[in-house]
Amino acid sequence: MTAAHPEGIRVLVVDDEAPARQRIIDLLEKDEQVGLVLEAADGKSRRPDD
Amino acid sequence: MGKAAVQMIEREALDLVFLDVQMPELDGLQVIEAVGPAKMPLTVFVTAYDHHAIRAFEANALDYLLKPFSDERLEASLARARARHDEHSLLEFGRSVLRMVCGKPAAGGYLDRLVVKSGGTTRFIRVADIDWIEGAGVYANLHIAGKELLYRAALHELADKLDPMRFVRVHRSAIVNIDSIVELQPISHGEFEVVLKDGHRSRVSRTYRAQLEHRLGQSL
């Protein structure tokens, strides 16, 4: 486990099923404590305020 | 995708990963093996097959989402991750203070769950729930809320895997959870007994008294 990050929780979503991956990402992006969401599918990153 | 996940976990300072168990090239459990369990962020397994559950928990997963999952189930999983993340932040703070005081290197990767198999049943025991541990040869006898379970590991082997912020050795054959101590009672010749919340008493030998005082930050 990594040390706590001051910018919020940093999350990676790894799922080859796009709809399931998107549902998880949608929920994460609504969460104020989540600071960064990464997808393993194509390596691109998303932030809740993007 | 599994290989990409390994690279991102190693490159980014992640706190949490939602990890599909079945993936091409490298599956979720192989991702954990490749990264190393001690270096993995909090992990929530996601899969359509519930027969992966035992292996997932043996890999120390925080949670296990079975597809198709509801929004409520997904939110509950995230809530659990947030709570553990907050708890971890407090522990990290405690460890950093300990490192400053002791001058010791960071000590991470401690067990937070034990897999105990007996009589055809596999139990997942939260380490935080253990009151005390008694050495019993090649086994460690776990005492949890008045009940006992045998875990196959010698006491010294298990001790190395437990968080010293939570567990302290009080005797050659006993380790106690600091949160379970309710009293310290003097016996004689500088020796003490710790009284645990389950009523058990364990003598603190002189050898380990200094360690306990150091951990508590005060003399007994």
Residue of B130, B217, B114, B126 whose CA lies nearest to B181: B130
Min Cα distance B2 → chain A (Å) is: 8
Tokens 């190693």, located at residue: B10
Answer yes or no: is pLDDT of B131 > 90: yes
User: What is residue B89's predicted lDDT score, i.e. its pLDDT?
Assistant: 66
Distance in angstroms (rounded) separating the CA atoms of residues B204 and B171: 6
User: What is residue A44's predicted lDDT score, i.e. its pLDDT?
Assistant: 45
Which two three-digit tokens encode residue B91? 């522990």
Residue of B128, B101, B130 whose CA lies nearest to B215: B101
Residues of B within 8 A of A38 (CB-CB) are 8, 12, 14
User: What is residue A45's predicted lDDT score, i.e. its pLDDT?
Assistant: 46
Q: What is the pLDDT of chain B when averaged over all its residues? A: 82
Contacts (Cβ under 8 Å, ≥6 apart) of B53: B64
User: What is residue A13's predicted lDDT score, i.e. its pLDDT?
Assistant: 94
Alpha-carbon dihedral of residues B79, B110, B165, B182, nearest 10 degrees?
80
Min Cα distance A1 → chain B (Å) is: 4
User: What is residue A47's predicted lDDT score, i.e. its pLDDT?
Assistant: 45
Provide the number of structural domains found in chain A.
1
Answer yes or no: is pLDDT of B42 > 80: yes
Structural domain contains residue A27: yes
Q: Which domain holds residue A33?
A: 9-46
Answer yes or no: is pLDDT of B48 > 70: yes
More confident residue, B113 or B216: B113
Structural domain contains residue A31: yes
Beta strands in B39-177 (DSSP E): 42-47, 63-66, 113-118, 121-126, 132-136, 139-144, 147-151, 167-171, 174-177
Q: Bridge-partner residues for B117, per DSSP?
A: B122
Give me Rg for the CA atoms of chain A: 11
Structural domain contains residue A35: yes
For residue B126, name the pLDDT band (cuts at 50, 70, 90): confident
Domains of chain B listed by start with CATH number: 1-109 (3.40.50.2300), 113-216 (2.40.50.1020)
- pLDDT, tens only, B141-150: 999 988 899 9
Answer yes or no: is pLDDT of B110 > 70: yes
Residue of A15, A4, A36 whose CA lies nearest to B18: A15
pTM listed for this prediction: 0.51
Give the whole-number percent of chain B exceeding pLDDT 70: 85
User: What is residue B94's predicted lDDT score, i.e. its pLDDT?
Assistant: 59
Cβ contact, residue pair A2, B14, below 8 Å: yes
State phi, psi for B128 to the nearest 5 degrees. Answer: -65, -20
Structural domain contains residue A1: no
- pLDDT, tens only, A7-35: 688 999 998 888 889 999 998 988 888 88
